[in-house]
Amino acid sequence: MTLPLPAGGGELAPALQIVLFVTALVFVPAALVMMTAFTRILVVLSFVRTAVGAGQVPPTAVLVGLALFLTAFVMAPVGDAVYREAYLPYQQGTLDFPAALRTAEGPVRDFMLKETRASDLDLFLQISGRGGSVDRASVPLTALVPAFAISELKTAFEMGFVIYLPFLVIDMVVATTLMSMGMLMLPPVLVSLPFKILLFVLVDGWHLVVANLVNGF
């Protein structure tokens, strides 16, 4: 869509378009992170690394890359729906841009509503002064997006708690054993780390974590 040129010159309109485009680029990454499965996946993967206690292994870049590809896998049905229902009609000229944007919002909204807890959604509706009078299908994005984000964080922390438990048991057993042997100067973490890595490998931990993450959506 070309903006109208101002009277007296043609330089302002292209410059204004560039400014608007760059401004949109600033907000698009944040919107994609907050409106997709990325937050839950990355937080859970970070919990796994912390629970194992192997420092920066895997590196943060690896976790972020894995989270991005898993997010693309989880969000593929939503992306396909947006492409079929909004982008293709817009390219073919059967929908104008505002109508295509409203149509594209539908699959994303359905995904977020499915993963958002009712209590979190009611919280932001009450804060905005709407209370419980708003139908879930017509909830404004200003309330839906933060409700979806805190729901994802809560789910990720619940999964992180379950992930931590077996590694915590190993730490406690190792610490108790070292104390009973009088080896107080030996750090328990140094001894428990190989056992935690061995446990994680034996149970195929990455397979279990990724399977539960993907199947949870």
**Residue 174 falls inside a structural domain:** no
**Residue 131 maps to a domain:** yes
Instruction: For residue 1, give the DSSP letter.
Output: -
DSSP letters of 42-90? HHHHHHHHHHHT-TT-S-HHHHHHHHHHHHHHHTHHHHHHHIIIIIHHH
For residue 131, pLDDT beyond 50: yes
Inside any domain, residue 16: no
Structural domain includes residue 7: no
Q: How many Å apart are CA 122 and CA 132, to the nearest integer?
A: 7
Cα atoms in the Cβ-side hemisphere of radius 13 Å centred on 109: 16
- Any residues with CB less than 8 A from the CB of 16 and at least 6 apart, and which? 3
Residue 168 lies in a domain: no
Coil, helix or strand at residue 204: coil
Kindly state the average pLDDT of the residues 58-82.
90
Compute the distance between CA of residue 105 and CA of residue 98 in angstroms, rounded to an integer. Answer: 11
Q: Residue 120 domain-assigned?
A: yes
Residue 43 scores a pLDDT above 70: yes
Print the domain residue range for 104: 36-161+204-215
> What is the pTM for the complete model shown?
0.79
- Residue 155: inside a domain: yes
Whether residue 68 lies inside any domain: the answer is yes
Place 4 in a pLDDT band, splitting at 50, 70 and 90. very low
- Long-range contacts, 109-112 (Cβ 8 Å, 24+): 109/137, 109/139, 109/141, 109/144, 111/75, 111/78, 112/35, 112/144, 112/145, 112/148
Say how many domains are in the chain: 1
